[in-house]
Amino acid sequence: MSFATYRVEGMTCNHCVQAVTREVQALAGVDQVAVDLQAKTVAVTGTASPDDIAGAVAEAGYTFAGPAS
């Protein structure tokens, strides 16, 4: 199991947070998801790959911008 935080561009409101959370949480191998609107990040605990997380973020309508620094 791993923990990683990624940047997400385009989120502006709580609906955005809910959409990203819903899509990422639905992935196989995701144990926990925490979306931070102010920091524009999604933190994921589990075994899902960054590519799968990127796809889920895109499915929610936002831009996956890689690992958060």
Fold classified for 2-67: Alpha-Beta Plaits (3.30.70)
Q: Round to whole Å and give the CA distance between 1 and 34.
A: 16
- Reported as a pLDDT band with limits 50, 70 and 90, residue 60 is very high
pLDDT at 69: 79
What does the domain layout of the chain look like in residue ranges? 2-67
pLDDT at 42: 98
Q: Is the dihedral of CA 10, 26, 39, 15 positive or negative?
A: positive
pLDDT at 1: 84
Per-residue pLDDT tens over the stretch 6-57: 999 999 999 999 999 999 999 999 999 999 999 999 999 999 999 999 999 9
